[in-house]
Amino acid sequence: MPHSAPAADTRLGHRLLAGMACAALLACAAAPAQAEDNKAKAARFYEDALSRFERKDISGSIIQLKNALQADKTLLPVQLLLARALMADGQVAAAEVAITEALRLGVDRAEVVQTLGQALLAQGKHEQLLEQARMAPAGLPNSVRLQVLLLRASAQSDLGDPAAALKSVQEARAIDPTAIETWLAEVGIRVRGRQFNEANAAADAAIKLDPRSAEAYYQRGSVAHARGQVTEAMKAYDTSLSLDPGHYESRLARAGLNLDANRNAEALADIAEARKLQPREPRAAYLQAVLADRSGDRPAARAALSQVTALLDPVPLDFVKYRPQMLLLNGLSHFALDEGEKARPLLEAFVRAQPLTPVSKILAQLYLKAKDPDRAIGVLEAYLRGIPGDSKALVQLATAQMAKGRPARATQLMQEALRARDVPELRTVLGVSLLQSGDGTGARSELEASFKKDPKQLQAGMGLMALYLREREPAKAAEVANQLLRNQPNNPALLNTAGVAKAEAGDFGGARRAFEHALAIDKTLTASQLGLARVDIATGALHAAEVRLKTLLKADERNPEVIYDLAVLTMRKGQADEALNLLRRAADVSPKGDSRAQEAIIEYQLRQGRGVQALEAAKVLLAQAPEDVNYLTLYARAQLASGDGAGAKLTLTNATRRAGYGTFALTSLARLQLAANDLDGAGYTLEKVLSADAQFLAAQALLANIETRKGDFAKAEPRIRRIISQYPKLGTGYGLLGDLASARRQPAAAIDAYRQAHKVEPSVGTALALINSLGAQGQVQEARNVADAWLKANPADGQIQRALANLLARTGDFARAKLAYEAVVKQTPDDVEALNNLANVHLRLKDTRSAISTAEQAVSKAPTNPIVIDTLGWALFEGGQTDAALAKLRDARLRAPSNPDIRYHLASVLVKQGKLTEARDELTTALRDYPHFESQVAAKALLATLK
């Protein structure tokens, strides 16, 4: 705007400013009145909230208190009442926040310390209650200090320090010997320590102080209840409720006693009253579920159990870890709802607190279902030390030992149990254990005896069927199946199992008839329809299988088994991409705990050399069960495939700690540890294997390999000689001898040993070792001859084709190397390593266009792999595309800062673009930190030009 603006405009501006000033003054004048209105409004909300709180309208009180805070956030009474209301509503974390805000606003801690302590306890923050300065008893008024000491006693008792807890109670009692709360607090501490006489004395002292205390009579009842004195407990609960019909704990405890005594009507009345008193309390809902299940109303039972889990699931485990009853309720509810993954951590926490209860058997059952026999064994052995005669626990322990690969121990357990009590169930497990231990005769005898004594024993019958099929006696297996079916002729599940057994035995016609019979009884039985589809796939009737599976899928688009089998069929037809999509779909709809589809995805990605994609899929799996050994193993394999050796090392260490003593599983883990270059970890794992089976060949061979790699030749050589002596017709020992000679820098001896290994046991492994050894010593022609001979007999062998290509590239025969790599890529188009090597060969042949195209293919399949990104960047640079090259090489450098060749490539492009200081820094770091690398000479020369 020009400076010579009209005067009228200026005057208008002055009038506007004056008007704004007046408005501001009016606003300032109105502010006190507005503030007064807000405070008055907040006060009204507070008073209404207080009234609602006193009427036990907790939710209404909370709403009004929040309204008060909207009007005025500085009112301390609002914060304090909100904390109490939130506590009453079970929102303990929010209550702690409200108290903390009140303290910030300046409230005296004596006003809030008791509620704060209750909030901390409810959240499982016991250590904070004992350690925080704001919770210290010192300096508080006596009445408040007494309550804080009792809170400390509760925390100390929960943390397993009863002596400290009783000391806190005694300090509280010294403040006021007439305070009934001190005696009531002592009861719980004494009961937990099974000091029932002292607990009873404390309850009596409380009653003496206040004969009309409902809580005191409840505590007396709880002592009797814990002692199994049902009559005395019932009498005490009755008295408590006569004094206070609203005493929730007494009402609930009496309902439990009535349930135990099958007084269902009385139990129902107490449960209904308890649910009226506290609708959001889960224990009454659980008792209601028990009652509904007892009356046969399964839907009502499931609904009540779902209410329990809905109430308790949002509460973090830390909040309830010191409340065993809540842990148990939630765990049992999830177990009854067949939600084992959710039940397991809850029941684990309960069993840690109370190991000698039948809950140990439920937890063991979950472990066995999750294929974790080690944990099942641990929990059962601890339980049986306290309750040695429990036959069900013994059967479970024997089953776990068999799952662990220790049938001899299982046999011993069952034989000991049978000496005390001869029942068919024990003989069945004994038979199965003998079968696993290789004693087919003994197993047959026990299973036949058990089945003869009780032909309705499904487990014995199924064990016999498996035994007869293994011993090629299908007629006898069918006879057992028929006998079982005579007792349960309309059991489609049994027919389905018989069909599975026949199919596994190769009797596809019999399997088909069994499945069809099952479907004639129940045409909706998906398992039998799937069985028929699997028979179709096994017999090559792929079209029939496809029609059957698609019909099933149309009926249930989210059935994971159907989708998975359709993926298997599609893969069988050679349609890999479509099969992968189906596997992903199956994984998405699979229930928790069913990881078959996700595992298949990981395996497929690993087979295709897609480490990054495999790792992403493995992360999904591991998040479901972070301690599962199989999941950890798959995750480690994916880490190795994606180049994260350090991460794989940590993952495998975790897996070996949890793997128990299974020889095959541990040996597989040791192999992966070797791949991660964790020699010490692999050695430890193999020693663990050999402590269980000193003659296990695979472990002995791997340990010899480790000793060789570590330079411990004095240990390695005698071990290798023993292997050759014991297994002269296997190539294993000779191959190890070749490795030892190579480590000793005796190349001629190494080649001789590898030749012998390949002679006695020709394999891909022996061929690779011989080819690489010959190539390293310049005996290229013989190495080519070995490779060509193997490929003539095995033209589709990608490993040898790759080894030949690598050999040709190393020896400078880039034209033949190009052909060999192209053959590998033709066989496995997604092989990133082969594509990357082929791109480098194109560069050596000065074919930059082909190098760029091939490197782009590699990057498209492994977009985060720094090696292939580097290759593409260097190819772009060689092709004159400097800007594009710089972007790729910066990316590669950030992903792999410890790779000096990438630093050299980046520096070369930086020099080309005139960024000399940055280039100098990259080269200096590479040459200073990495004394030996492929581009070292070129890097030194380039750096010299920059000085």
pLDDT tens digits, 874-894: 999 999 998 889 888 888 887
Residue 917 lies in a domain: yes
Residue 712 lies in a domain: no
Please say whether the beta carbons of 865 and 643 come within 8 A: yes
The secondary structure of residue 133, as a DSSP letter, is G
Q: What confidence score (pLDDT) does residue 13 get?
A: 34
Pairwise pLDDT comparison (184 vs 411), residue with the higher score: 184
Q: Which of 677, 683, 621, 608 is nearest to 644 (CA)?
A: 677
pLDDT digits (tens, 9 = 90+) for 690-728: 887 788 888 899 999 999 999 999 999 999 999 999 889
pLDDT digits (tens, 9 = 90+) for 200-257: 999 999 999 999 999 999 999 999 988 888 899 999 999 999 999 989 899 989 988 9
- Cα distances (Å, whole numbers) of residue 296 to 150, 299, 300, 302, 362: 45, 9, 9, 11, 22
Residue 332 lies in a domain: no
- 0.95 cut: is pTM over it? no
Structure tokens at 66: 């929040």
Q: What confidence score (pLDDT) does residue 423 get?
A: 58
- Cα distances (Å, whole numbers) of residue 357 to 343, 379, 380, 383, 517: 16, 11, 11, 7, 44
**Local confidence band at 11 (pLDDT 50, 70, 90 cut-offs):** very low
Average pLDDT for 482-508? 75
> Token pair 């254990």 is at which residue?
433
State CA 722 to chain mean position distance.
41
**How does the average pLDDT of the chain come out, rounded?**
83
State CA 485 to chain mean position distance.
40
d(Cα 676, Cα 645) in Å, to the nearest integer? 5
Average pLDDT for 500-507? 71
Residue 316 lies in a domain: no
Residue 914: which domain range? 904-944
Residue 696 lies in a domain: no
d(Cα 234, Cα 660) in Å, to the nearest integer? 47
Average pLDDT for 589-609? 84
d(Cα 634, Cα 611) in Å, to the nearest integer? 11
Residue 383 lies in a domain: no
Average pLDDT for 793-800? 79
Residue 461 lies in a domain: no
pLDDT digits (tens, 9 = 90+) for 675-693: 888 999 999 889 888 887 7
pLDDT for 26 beyond 60: no
Mean pLDDT lowest among 15-19, 144-148, 683-687? 15-19
pLDDT for 4 beyond 60: no
In the chain, pLDDT over 70 holds for what percent of residues? 88
d(Cα 22, Cα 649) in Å, to the nearest integer? 74
Q: Which helix (H) or strand (E) holds 397?
A: helix 391-403
Structure tokens at 742: 């190579």
pLDDT for 294 beyond 50: yes
- Kindly tell me the sign of the dihedral angle through the C-alpha atoms of 509, 513, 519, 525: negative
pLDDT for 314 beyond 50: yes
- Cα distances (Å, whole numbers) of residue 499 to 472, 492, 529: 16, 10, 11
Residue 908 lies in a domain: yes
Encode burial over 7-22: b for 16+ CB neighbours within 10 A, e otherwise: eeeeeeeeeeeeeeee
**Local confidence band at 621 (pLDDT 50, 70, 90 cut-offs):** confident
Q: What confidence score (pLDDT) does residue 841 get?
A: 94
Instruction: Give the chain's domain count.
Output: 1
